[in-house]
Amino acid sequence: MQDTELDTSLETMLNGAKKPSMQLVIGNKNYSSWSMRPWVVMKAFTIPFEEIQIVLDQPTTSAHIAEYSLAGRVPVLLADPIVVWDSLAICEFLAEQFPLQNLWPEDVAARAIARSICAEMHSGFSDLRASMPMNIKADFSGKGRNAGSQADIGRISEIWEDCLSRYGAHHYLFGDFSIADAYFAPVVMRFKTYNVSLAPALQAYVERVQAHPAVAEWIRDALNEAEEMPKYDFPTRK
């Protein structure tokens, strides 16, 4: 009964009969790749929410995040009385609560692959993260390259090529825009910042993702942020 009541409440909210009752706690838009993923999903699928932004790497950051989640990280979704943390868990929760929105691909096989590549993104590509952190404002052309990051770029290229060739009739990884595209949106940001050379079809995909209204809005917000996080800026990075 409780699950049904929650579903009804959120669906009613989606239809505009209630003020947004969900809040998404995020970090700096220029740097916080994990925050970007569920934010883009919610914007892309017109799921109403209130944004709560916490500036990262400040003396009060940990205490501020702890007001919403003891996990100590962003993003956090507040769907009273439920608190969901971790970007992938948030996306799965949203897909459950809004099944008619098709946040995941409708086809069973495509959906399984979409979940698999998001899980791979979630748990892997550590060299890319370490060597090429997200910094939307910057131009770090040619930086961050090493054997590990190059291997990650190669694997991501394989994923994109496979999905686009099998399912990308409407120009996204699985046809229509889905959680999978939102999950790789921060990689798109990295590929632009670091000027990664890609095959023409993959470069076209990068440009389509950048132009998506939800992604474009995040980029605009990031470019307008004043806060800086020097540890994510070259040439100070080692």
Is residue 39 located within the same domain as residue 117?
no
Structure tokens at 32: 């916080």
State residue 83's pLDDT score: 98
State residue 11's pLDDT score: 52
Is residue 63 located within the same domain as residue 159?
no
State residue 85's pLDDT score: 98
State how far the Cα of 146 lies from the Cα of 128, in Å rounded to an integer: 9
Q: What is the pLDDT of residues 100-154, one digit of tens each?
A: 999 999 999 999 999 999 999 999 999 999 999 999 999 999 999 999 999 999 9
Residue 212 CB partners (closer than 8 Å, separation 6+): 40, 44, 177, 181
Is residue 28 located within the same domain as residue 55?
yes
State residue 222's pLDDT score: 98
Ranges in the chain, pLDDT < 70 = 1-20, 234-238
Q: Is residue 227 part of a domain?
A: no
State residue 9's pLDDT score: 46
State how far the Cα of 62 lies from the Cα of 42, in Å rounded to an integer: 25
Q: Is residue 19 part of a domain?
A: yes
Residue 52 backbone zone (phi > 0: left; psi -120 to 50: alpha; other: beta): beta
State residue 22's pLDDT score: 98
Residue positions counted in the chain: 238
State residue 4's pLDDT score: 43
Is residue 126 located within the same domain as residue 184?
yes
Domain count across the chain: 2
Residue 132 phi, psi dihedral angles, 5° rounding: -135, 65
Which among 184, 178, 31, 170 has a CA at the least distance from the CA of 119?
Answer: 184
| 9 alpha-carbon distance from chain centroid | 25
CB-based burial, 35-65: b 16+ in 10 Å, e otherwise: bbbbbbbbbbbebebeebbbebeeeeeeeeb
Is residue 143 located within the same domain as residue 79?
no
Is residue 125 located within the same domain as residue 210?
yes
Is residue 35 located within the same domain as residue 6?
yes
State residue 8's pLDDT score: 46
State residue 169's pLDDT score: 81
Is residue 116 located within the same domain as residue 216?
yes
The residue from 72, 101, 130 where one domain ends is: 101
Which among 200, 199, 166, 202 has a CA at the least distance from the CA of 184?
Answer: 202
> What is the extent of the structural domain holding 49?
2-101
